[in-house]
Structure 1
Amino acid sequence: MTNTVLFVDDDEDLRRASAQTLSLAGYEVQVTEGGAAAMREVHGGFDGVIVSDIRMPGMDGVELLRQVVAHDPDMPVILISGHIDVPTAMGALRTGAYDVLEKPYSTEQLIAAVERALERRRLIVENRQLRQAAPADDAEPLIGHSPAIVQLRRTIAQIAPIGVDVLIQGETGTGKGLVAEMLHRASRRRGPLMAIDCGAMPAGLVEAELFGNVADAVPGSRMPRTGRLEQGNRGTIFLDDIDALGDSTQLAIQRVLERREVTPVGAIAGRSVDLRVISASSVDLETLAKSGRFRLSLFYRLNSVILRLPPLRERREDIAPLFRRFVLQAAVRLGVSPPKLEARTFRHLEKHDWPGNVRELMRFSENFVLGLSDHDLDADARPGPPDLKGRLDAFEAELIEEALSEAAGDVTRACAALGVPRKTFYYRLQKLGIDLAKFRN
């Protein structure tokens, strides 16, 4: 998070006094004596808030404002002047100034204006980072840099065009449906992707749903019907939760795989179909088959290629990028700005085991955008058996809070007492969730 202020004024005494005021308030301060020097800092990568006098020799504050807005219209600029009139102030605000302060301004006025501007800048930077973290399109929706996910993407790219049948195994919420969609999109098949939830079909009508039926073959239905498998002709069939099928239906599916032929209920002859079959299970299908709870012969027909999706707890390095992507998606969908990302949010992401995997993380991200995630975050704060890292963090937080208390919130004195650089100190404050304001009050 940015915490830097660039103070621009040709008055050396005012520069020094204002820099000291802002530094004591906990900000990183850079100073320049004119607009041209300030623009060199901006072009050099400065990312914070600019406070500038209006009347200066050479490039004045208004021209500096115009050039900053042209470079980055979201960079807050606060203008100050001892001789400002209403038209000048209104013109500066229309040009893009964040605020205008009239000299002599109080310390509280300056700090309050800077804090508001920095908060706006932090939100803008976070939004940019969220958008950069999200892919520009859905060409690569399987997000993550963990070795397992990188290898999974490679395997999908290799097997998708071949047309081989695939068995996807992974816990609930790991993205089996997403992988099936990726395989279908990258294939050469021109038919539809027909997704079938095997555990949700009406009892007693499973075979009619899958294979269709001829007229009068199913009680209560006098009309013939085309089954879901035949509807997917020349496309891809995705059988989700295939382990939920009964033994007789498993046998019928096996025949489809062997013959590429569908026989509707009540029909004498089968109908040829051009299908690629992707099946999925949230349990280990081989173990299920060897224990007699799933047809072993069908398992061997399904497992031409097996893709195993790792649970989220086994690829923790992917959790934060996924969270940022989901937060941005939820914010765009709901028409709101993404909330500020706090240290306690990342602590929850790190500590939680995510038994619902990516689906649970998506739910948490949406609740976070809606402001409904406090219960989850508060639950994380409840004391549990402390591990070594937790004990070290608690000890470090105690030392920092003690130093801040003795220094009455003065960051410079606290850093000197602890012997740490200011940048490191602010990073640890954010990481440990320490509120600097309560020590200043």
Structure 2
Amino acid sequence: MKKVLIVDDEKIIRYFIKNLLEPHFEILEAENQKTCKEVLQANKIDIVILDLKLPDNDSIFELLNYIVKKFPKIKTLILSGIYDENISKEALSLGAKGYLLKTDAEQQLVNILKNMQLPQEIEIKSEGFKMEIGGKTNSIFIPEAPEYQRIYELALKTLSAGLNILIEGETGTGKGFLAQYLHKKLCADAPIITLNCGAI
């Protein structure tokens, strides 16, 4: 069975991608650059799904460059919360095999993995998540767990009433998912600005 390494500092993203790919692949995880390198050294990895913006990266393409140079046989897919044409082009020119948006990862993964001629029949299911659809650019996965549903409903009602919301929580608890959900529900035509304060 081929091995996939998911590299993202958000636990909920790793959980989501892991659910999509099992049982077709053996899944390994890393939350930062240091752990990623350790996993790569200790295992024969076939595919890396990589978030470029990790807290211990000195530069956005540092880890991608490392993987491409040290492990040229590994196929690396970039995972991003927002689409940036310049970053996408640069990543592909450096050796990445694809650029995935977190909000549209399910279908993109199916297409890319089939093009890689990996498992011939790939049926990807996002158990634990459901998809709110509003066109390709307005699709987002939200957790189905009752606790998350209550939080999403309360946040949407609060924001709909004209009040401001401050989303707090530990890394990997889904703050970004909630922010994108609220944005797409109430102001999808306006821009959303994402800033990783921990990386500043």
Q: What is the TM-score with the length of structure 2 in the denominator?
A: 0.53
Which structure 1 segments of 5+ residues have no match? 123-408, 411-441
In the superposition, relative to structure 1, how do residues 112 and 3 fare at CA in structure 2: closer, same or farther (>3 Å)?
farther
User: Where does residue 41 of structure 1 map in the other structure?
Assistant: 39
In the superposition, relative to structure 1, how do residues 49 and 113 fare at CA in structure 2: closer, same or farther (>3 Å)?
same
2-side partners of 1:104 and 1:112: how far apart? Answer: 15
**Deviation at 1:32?**
1.0
- Aligned letter for 1:13? I
Per-residue CA deviation, residues 9-62 of structure 1 (Å, 9 max, x unaligned), is: 1111111121111114x2111111112211111122323100011212112662
Per-residue CA deviation, residues 58-98 of structure 1 (Å, 9 max, x unaligned), is: 12662111001111223110001123321111111111101
Q: Confirm or deny: 8 A CA contact 1:53 1:80 kept in the other structure.
A: yes
In the superposition, relative to structure 1, how do residues 38 and 118 fare at CA in structure 2: closer, same or farther (>3 Å)?
farther
Q: Does 1:27 align with 2:37?
A: no
In the superposition, relative to structure 1, how do residues 106 and 100 fare at CA in structure 2: closer, same or farther (>3 Å)?
closer
User: Where does residue 195 of structure 2 map in the other structure?
Assistant: none
**More helix, by proportion:** 1
Q: How does 1:9-88 map to 2 (within 5 A)?
A: 9-24=8-23, 26-59=24-57, 62-88=61-87
In the superposition, relative to structure 1, how do residues 51 and 64 fare at CA in structure 2: closer, same or farther (>3 Å)?
same
1-side partners of 2:17 and 2:98: how far apart? Answer: 17
- Aligned letter for 2:22? S
RMSD: 2.4
**Deviation at 1:103?**
2.8
**Deviation at 1:118?**
6.2
User: Where does residue 93 of structure 2 map in the other structure?
Assistant: 94
2-side partners of 1:71 and 1:88: how far apart? Answer: 21
Q: Confirm or deny: 8 A CA contact 2:46 2:73 kept in the other structure.
A: no
SS of the residue corresponding to residue 52 of structure 1 reads strand
Per-residue CA deviation, residues 274-304 of structure 1 (Å, 9 max, x unaligned), is: xxxxxxxxxxxxxxxxxxxxxxxxxxxxxxx
Q: Structure 1 vs Structure 2: percent identity of aligned residues? A: 22
Per-residue CA deviation, residues 95-136 of structure 1 (Å, 9 max, x unaligned), is: 1101111231141222332343463xx9xxxxxxxxxxxxxx
User: Where does residue 288 of structure 1 map in the other structure?
Assistant: none
2-side partners of 1:104 and 1:56: how far apart? Answer: 18
- Aligned letter for 2:50? S
Choose between structure 1 and 2 for higher RCO, CA contacts under 8 A separated by at least 6 residues.
Answer: 2
Q: Does 1:114 align with 2:146?
A: no
In the superposition, relative to structure 1, how do residues 118 and 77 fare at CA in structure 2: closer, same or farther (>3 Å)?
farther
Per-residue CA deviation, residues 352-374 of structure 1 (Å, 9 max, x unaligned), is: xxxxxxxxxxxxxxxxxxxxxxx
SS of the residue corresponding to residue 113 of structure 2 reads helix
- Aligned letter for 2:82? H
SS of the residue corresponding to residue 58 of structure 1 reads coil
Per-residue CA deviation, residues 125-173 of structure 1 (Å, 9 max, x unaligned), is: xxxxxxxxxxxxxxxxxxxxxxxxxxxxxxxxxxxxxxxxxxxxxxxxx
SS of the residue corresponding to residue 103 of structure 2 reads coil
In the superposition, relative to structure 1, how do residues 35 and 93 fare at CA in structure 2: closer, same or farther (>3 Å)?
same
Aligned residues: 120
Q: What is the TM-score with the length of structure 1 in the denominator?
A: 0.25
- Aligned letter for 1:7? I
User: Where does residue 291 of structure 1 map in the other structure?
Assistant: none
In the superposition, relative to structure 1, how do residues 106 and 47 fare at CA in structure 2: closer, same or farther (>3 Å)?
closer
2-side partners of 1:115 and 1:5: how far apart? Answer: 15
Which structure 2 segments of 5+ residues have no match? 125-200
Q: Confirm or deny: 8 A CA contact 1:49 1:117 kept in the other structure.
A: no
